[in-house]
Amino acid sequence: MAGVEIHPTAIVEKGAELGTDVRIGPFCHISSDAVIGDNSRLLSHVVIMGPTTLGENGLVYPNAVLGGDPQNNKHKGGRTTLVIGKNCIIREGVTMHRGSDTSRGTTTVGDDCEFLAYAHVAHDCALGNHVTFSNNVMIGGHVVIGDYVIIGGGGAVHQFVRVGHHAFVGGLAALVGDLIPYGSAIGVHAWLGGLNIIGMKRSGLPHKEIHAVRHAVPMLFDRTKPVKERAIDVRNAYPDSKAVIDIIDFIEADHKRAFCTPKLEHTISSDDTGY
């Protein structure tokens, strides 16, 4: 534990694994099953419970609670885990729960993610890399969040919902259906209002691909056929667009939830940004 600093008021239980140059601030409580990566910093009053791993260069602000028991009545008390990647920023009051022993058994968070104050990650969720949760975002159990997803303040995601990579969920939105990659969902309950064009540009997606997606998505949701039938037409129309095919693969995957779609009175056009 070279270079480790533990404040005298902190409790680090025997068995906890601390990497090099870890700093544990005042009144933190680290369980015996915890693993804290190199160069991580827990500012104060942080609680890390059970088999929880925090990757290297983690920064955790006061009153965050990581690794709590799953809020799942089917959980029988078995050993489950929370695994958080490297370079994650976890702000004040954030809560993340371990997986449940009747499901995937682990909650996973990717690298380079940021969780603003009082965000919540429920049991058995799987989050990708570069995910941003704004203040008070809450996601239910078994949710899958793709890379580079942004959820605005107060946004909520129903259990078992998938949010595709580079998607954007607006502030105070309640998302109850799967959101396609690059999609932008707004409203309560959230509906597909357009595309996250700004996020696509920030990620370096080529202009040609953005152009293809902007024309393919209105075709996908034009209501002349069920979405999964239209997906076949869109795949045939844009066979060389990796981004479009990625959305179609998302649509065609077997999953439990319906899709986040446009309102009946709203038709997506190629000019919609949804941001």
- Nearest-angstrom CA–CA distance, 97 and 32: 17
Residue 274, pLDDT score:
43
Tens of pLDDT, residues 97-138 = 999 999 999 999 999 999 999 999 999 999 999 999 999 999
pLDDT of 263? 84
Q: Give 246-270 pLDDT, tens digit per residue.
A: 999 999 998 888 899 998 765 566 5
The residue to which tokens 């809020």 are assigned: 71
**DSSP label at residue 162:** E
Is residue 191's pLDDT more than 50?
yes
36-54, pLDDT tens digit by residue? 999 999 999 999 999 999 9
| 50 given a catalytic annotation | no
- Provide the CATH topology of domain 5-142: UDP N-Acetylglucosamine Acyltransferase; domain 1 (2.160.10)
Cα–Cα dist 30/48, whole Å:
5
**Annotated catalytic residue, options 67, 112, 120, 124:** 124
Of 75, 120, 123, 165, the active-site residue reads 123
Predicted local confidence at residue 185, as pLDDT: 97
Residue 207 is a catalytic residue = no
Mean of pLDDT over the chain: 95
Averaged pLDDT, 199-213: 96
**In contact, 82 and 64? CB cutoff 8 Å:** no
The token pair at 155 is 């946004």
Q: Which of 93, 110, 141, 183 is catalytic?
A: 141
Residue 215 annotated to the active site = no
- Nearest one of 9, 14, 37, 38 to 25, comparing CA atoms: 9
